[in-house]
Amino acid sequence: MADAPAPARRIDGKSFAERLRERVASAAARLEADHGVKPGLAVVIVGEDPASQIYVRNKGEQTVAAGMRSDTHRLAETTTQDELLGLIARLNADRGIHGVLVQMPLPAHIDSAAVLDAIDPDKDVDGFHVVNAGRLAVGLPGLVPCTPQGSILLLKDALGDLSGLHAVVVGRSNIVGKPMAQLLLAENCTVTIAHSRTRDLAAVCRQADILVAAVGRPEMIRGDWIKPGATIIDVGINRVPSSDPAKAAEGRTRVVGDVAFKEAEAVAGAITPVPGGVGPMTIACLLANTYVAACRAAGVEPERLD
């Protein structure tokens, strides 16, 4: 009888992100020592969403640990769009701030597109501004969205050259799916973008050498949707009730991805876990973008971080 294939290798985003943050920290220290510039990141959060509060706290702590300035602006849920635009204008004009991030989602009474449009594209460390989306699409240097950038770093570390591989991206949001597809294309992958209207999603996924799940539906992608040996990047961050019914009854939760991990692990060649996969890379790439933005503002060539 044939042996069952070995389980997939786990791609350790947490430790990769730690090493990337260390490289950012030493590059930032040299920028400050040689040019007197300390990179500064401003994070703006409107309202009290508990998950957002956790990410914002992690970002603030890791920014300071990388030797950068971190300013967090916590605004009330009732903040008006004009008040928020006023703060962005002040941050755009602040020479000590090189990166501005407005945590999404924003309350319903605020027009997110107008807010993103107001951020100086050269301080847009999320890479969400239309100018940065356009630069990415035409291959000009800009600021690249953090989650897709972190996912590419993990893929290149796992696979080396991505040329010619068939990548399937499930999800077409402006902040994850679309920029992920652009970056894979720039790495010479053959790219398929799938979404909620895709017919026979399982069959499309089965073609993937690289499968990127950015859907926001807990464990939607099953083991039998995966080509044996494929590399899986699970971007999903979904909070679900604890698997222990007693704890679930107390309202305890756990975080799962968009991929059914145990099933996928038995088929894939390599896979990112959730947590400990793409999430930590997002924050590390945010710090890298802040460093790059500070270098450009100072007219200094950024050091390579890879």
Ligand X SMILES: Nc1nc(=O)c2c([nH]1)NC[C@@H]1CN(c3ccc(C(=O)N[C@@H](CCC(=O)O)C(=O)O)cc3)C=[N+]21
Which of 10, 135, 217, 222 is close enough to bind ligand NDP by CB under 6 A? 217
Residue nearest to ligand NDP (CB): 173
81 has catalytic annotation? no
Has 243 been labeled as part of a binding site? no
Has 171 been labeled as part of a binding site? yes
Nearer to ligand NDP, 233 or 295 (CB): 233
Q: How far apart are CA 208 and CA 231, in angstroms?
A: 8
Which of 45, 88, 212, 215 is close enough to bind ligand NDP by CB under 6 A? 215
- Whether residue 290 contacts residue 30, with contact meaning beta carbons closer than 8 Å, is answered with no
Is residue 278 a contact point for ligand NDP (CB under 6 A)?
yes
Q: Among the options 120, 122, 124, 126, which is catalytic? A: 126
What x-and-dash track marks residues 36-75 binding ligand X by CB under 6 A?
------------------xx--x-----------------
Burial (CB count <10 Å: 0-12, 13-18, 19+), residue 303: middle
The angle at the Cα of 298, spanning 297 to 302, to the nearest 5 degrees, equals 90
Which of 9, 195, 247, 262 is close enough to bind ligand NDP by CB under 6 A? 195
User: Which residue has tokens 């209207």?
Assistant: 197
Is residue 196 a contact point for ligand NDP (CB under 6 A)?
yes
Which of 10, 238, 276, 303 is close enough to bind ligand NDP by CB under 6 A? 238
What x-and-dash track marks residues 240-259 binding ligand X by CB under 6 A?
---------------x----
What x-and-dash track marks residues 146-165 binding ligand X by CB under 6 A?
x-------------------
Distance of CA 247 to the CA centre of its chain: 30
- Whether residue 12 contacts residue 276, with contact meaning beta carbons closer than 8 Å, is answered with yes
* Residue 217 binds which entry of Mg ion, ligand X, ligand NDP, none, CB below 5-8 Å type-dependent: ligand NDP
- Whether residue 214 contacts residue 238, with contact meaning beta carbons closer than 8 Å, is answered with no
Is residue 57 a contact point for ligand NDP (CB under 6 A)?
no
* Amino acid letter, residue 211: L
* Amino acid letter, residue 249: A
Has 269 been labeled as part of a binding site? no
- Encoding tokens for residue 278? 């793409």
Nearer to Mg ion, 146 or 213 (CB): 146
For CA atoms 241, 244, 245, 249, the dihedral sign is: negative
268: left (phi over 0), alpha (psi -120 to 50) or beta: beta
Least separation in angstroms between residue 103's CB and ligand X is: 5
Task: From 37-45, 78-86, 211-219, 244-252, give the range in contact with ligand NDP by CB under 6 A.
Answer: 211-219
227 has catalytic annotation? no
> Residue 110: how many CB atoms within 10 A of its CB?
19
Least separation in angstroms between residue 5's CB and ligand X is: 26
Q: Beta strands of 47-138 (E only): which ranges?
A: 69-75, 99-102
Q: Where are the alpha helices (DSSP H) in 12-80?
A: 13-35, 50-65
* Residues with catalytic function: 59, 103, 126
